[in-house]
Amino acid sequence: MPIKPMVRNNICLNAHPAGCAASVRKQIEYIKSRLSKTDNAPKLALVVGCSNGYGLASRIGAAFGYKAVTVGLSFENEPSEKRCGTPGYYNNEEFDKQAAKDGLVSISLNGDAYSNEMKTQTIEAVKQAAAKAGIPAKIDLFVYSLASPVRKDPDNPAVMYKSVIKPIGAAQSGRTLNFMDGTFNDFSIIPATPDETSNTIKVMGGEDWELWMDALDKEGLLHQQTRAIAYTYIGPELSWAIYKNGTIGKAKEDLERACRDINKKFTETKKISGSWISVNKALVTRASSVIPIIPLYISSLFKVMKDMKLHEGCIEQIERLYRDRLYTADGKVPTDSENRIRIDDWEMRDDVQKAVVEKMKNVTAENVYAQTDIAGVKHDFLEVHGFDVEGVDYDADI
């Protein structure tokens, strides 16, 4: 039967296998045309959260740009006779297919990255991949790009933490944009309880990143060339009440705290080259689509940045991260005063933000398609799930 997108409240409930595969191939071709192996490029990369968005782009960049051996871990639902698998399932499948075609060693694992068991399995996979490639089992690049609504306690799986997207201290209200049909709706979000905030930090904070670093170190997989990186978003002040100053923002603060502690433990003792937080641009991902303020902001932002010829997607962001930040010719990593890598620099330019604010003030249901790039946002959202990808026959039986 043909597969059509099933979308409810800016959440897509299914995925298209052929579309996901085509999207992965498109990103691979982009990277191949812009990155090439250099003396300081990674030879062995581990990506936790490898199946979508920035994590997928990171793995594609390392493998097809730098010819690195890659091990990826994500938690996916496999397809059945009655329903599709998650987009990440098909993305990983195509990644491995294309890696094998190019003679690259890759291993993709499906499981709970928070669990001790998957850490053990992943470590063994890293060793196996290195042995297969005939290189030392020393990780040059470790990308931690995990996004999940829940986390089981690794030492007591009966305990589960759930993350929420809520403000802290006071309720927030406003209008949100449904990018599937261009309509506006009012939203109101009550403030998080202290338990909700602490649980969100448990899920989306830096504790698990630290546990991964400890596990890799214990097995001797880190070395002086290891570079570890995790991703965050700051955004403009208009989004801070729900994001930066809300529960997710508190979790991201803890991620930055973890980065500092990792550097104290591993970088200052010369066990690794360094650990960084990369502040990335606002993009359409499976996670960002459900944050109320984001669809209107991104639709306005995309319009402005495309008009200024500054727009980037995930793969373009990661290509610039690798080329101009992590793997520069002189080996230095440019950062801001907080030791963060900023590839949100074009988004946060004063002229860009001023134009975005003006658009958001003046956009209405009548002019939304002319004043914003809602069509582009809708396309990106569908493409994340394998739909609206050029060259795919969506009337074909799957």
- The single residue listed with the structure tokens 């449904």 is 178
Q: Is 243 noted as a catalytic residue in this protein? A: yes
Catalytic member of 243, 297, 322, 327 = 243
- Axis crossing angle, helix 116-133 with helix 207-218, rounded to the nearest 10: 50
Nearest to 377 by CA among 182, 220, 227, 197: 182
Token code pair at residue 398: 């799957």
Q: In one letter, which amino acid is 236?
A: P
* DSSP code string of 284-309: --TTGGGSTTHHHHHHHHHHHHHHTT
Buried b (16+ CB within 10 A) or exposed e, 17-41: bbbbbbbbbebbebbeeebeeeeeb
Residue showing tokens 């397809």: 79
What tokens appear for 139 in the block? 């990780």
Question: What is the CB neighbour count within 10 angstroms for residue 397?
Answer: 7
Two structure tokens written together for 251: 């979790």
Name the residue type at position 336: D
What angle separates helix 194-204 from helix 247-262, to the nearest 10 degrees? Answer: 40
Whether residue 386 contacts residue 4, with contact meaning beta carbons closer than 8 Å, is answered with no
Cβ within 8 Å of residue 264, ≥6 positions away: none
* 51 touches 73 (CB < 8 A): no
Please give the single-letter amino acid code of residue 305.
M
Residues labelled catalytic: 243
